[in-house]
Amino acid sequence: MGHVPQGGGSVMRILLAEDDVIIADALVRSLRKAGYAVDHMTTGAEADTALLSQSFDLAILDLGLPKISGIEVLRRLRARKSPLPVLILTAQDGVEDRVRGLDAGADDYLTKPFALPELEARVRALTRRGTGQPRQIELGSLVYDQAERMVKAGDQIVDLSARELGVLEMLMLRAGRLVSKEHLADHLCGWGEEVSTNAIEVYVHRLRKKLEPFGIRIATLRGLGYSLEKPAEHA
């Protein structure tokens, strides 16, 4: 079974409406890697039909879609009183586009070009907002409160730096699965940090020292990356 980031339930489903194949391909891969199910549409008409007939947890709409524009898809969605969180992508730096999108009911926007970790961060924020669920990731005795940016092991607070927290967040979201050093570095870059893969080794080393007393183990897959081991279900 895949690990579900948002505290139980099924995998989050995202509709992506983007007609630029290169951008769409990168987004689909990035989001699927992050554990989301993604349905990709290339026209506004397809997106509108899908939103009418299927249920999603988030829609990502490019404003410059052919046939029916992203703004029009968004207006129709809101006219149907749908509360679905919507992230709009705009190629123009034009403030006008952004304002039109937000006025039409978008929850957030990104201007192209953007960094993939930034997109992932916006998606995480919007899907959390959409579910109204507590922003907590749990793994055995380890609990990470994303809202408070605080980690507890049992009832003890674990003192972590911002970068250690960033690495741990990614490992917890993908517990039991491989996370590459490059992906961890990208994740931290999404927080506005420039991070080398060598630095990642240092943060993982520090995390091990802080977490191992609580029985939390980070495995190294040599040359590939790291994996936060899931605790045995039944001792």
**pTM of the prediction?**
0.54
Question: Among the residues of 64-161, which ranges form H helices?
Answer: 70-79, 95-103, 116-131
Residue 10 has pLDDT above 70, yes or no: no
Q: Extract long-range pairs of 177-185: CB within 8 Å, 24+ residues apart.
A: 177/3, 177/227, 178/221, 178/224, 178/225, 178/226, 178/227, 179/225, 179/226, 179/227, 180/224, 180/225, 181/225, 181/226, 182/225, 183/33, 183/225, 184/225, 184/226
CATH class of the domain at 13-131:
alpha beta
Picking from 20-34, 139-153, 184-198, which range would have the lowest pLDDT averaged per residue? 184-198
**Residue 53 · residue 9 · CB < 8 Å:** no
Give yes or no for a contact between 39 and 61, defined as CB atoms under 8 angstroms apart.
no
* Alpha carbon separation from 205 to 150, 161, 229 (Å, rounded): 19, 13, 15
- Which range in 59-63, 83-87, 169-173 is most confidently predicted, on average pLDDT? 59-63
Cα-only R_g, the chain: 19
Q: How far apart are CA 40 and CA 22, in angstroms?
A: 12
Let me know: does 67 contact 94? Beta carbons within 8 Å.
Answer: no
61 pLDDT above the threshold of 90: yes
Q: What is the pLDDT of residues 116-153, one digit of tens each?
A: 888 888 888 887 755 544 467 788 889 887 666 789 99
* Identical fold between 13-131 and 136-228: no
User: 37 pairs with which residues across the strands?
Assistant: 13
Average pLDDT over residues 145-166: 83
The ranges assigned to domains in the chain are 13-131, 136-228
Q: With left for phi above 0 and alpha for psi between -120 and 50, is residue 230 left, alpha or beta?
A: beta
Residue 5 confidence (pLDDT) = 42
Fold classification of 136-228 (topology level): Arc Repressor Mutant, subunit A (1.10.10)
